[in-house]
Amino acid sequence: MYSMDDLLDLVSNERAEELRLHAGTPPVIVLRGEHHTIEGPEITAENAEQLLWSVAGTRQMREFRERGAAEFVYTFRGSSRFLICAKMEGENVKFDVKPQVA
């Protein structure tokens, strides 16, 4: 299974513009405008929710549950900031992660 630490490390190391995490597909990173599927299994609905929980606080998850969507900034390892845009798509969690330039 995937972990957010590993995925965010990949985004940072590759200087990706975006990470897309959608249940039913493997993760996708966007590099210089091109979409690249990460080699590996599809993200399950359960894994997508676990990945979101690993970066969202209680307030963000409450908003997500109540509204079916949430947008917030996550600080990774004390310095890298990422904009998380999450929403429900049918019964599944879908979210995109974009690095924020300081």
Alpha carbon of residue 32 to chain centroid: 18
Position 56 scores a pLDDT of 96
Position 67 scores a pLDDT of 95
Residue 76's nearest CA partner among 10, 22, 2, 1 is 10
CA dist 28 and 80 (Å) reads: 19
- How many domains is the chain built from? 1
List pLDDT tens digits, range 22-78.
999 999 999 999 999 999 999 999 999 999 999 999 999 999 999 999 999 999 988
Position 79 scores a pLDDT of 84
Asked whether the predicted pLDDT for residue 21 surpasses 70, the reply is yes
Q: For 5-34, what is the mean pLDDT?
A: 95
Query: pTM of this prediction?
Result: 0.90
- Domain range holding 75? 4-100
User: Helices 45-55 and 58-67, interaxial angle, to 10°?
Assistant: 130
CATH number of the domain that 82 lies in? Answer: 3.30.450.90
Q: How confident is the model at residue 102 (pLDDT cuts 50, 70, 90)?
A: low
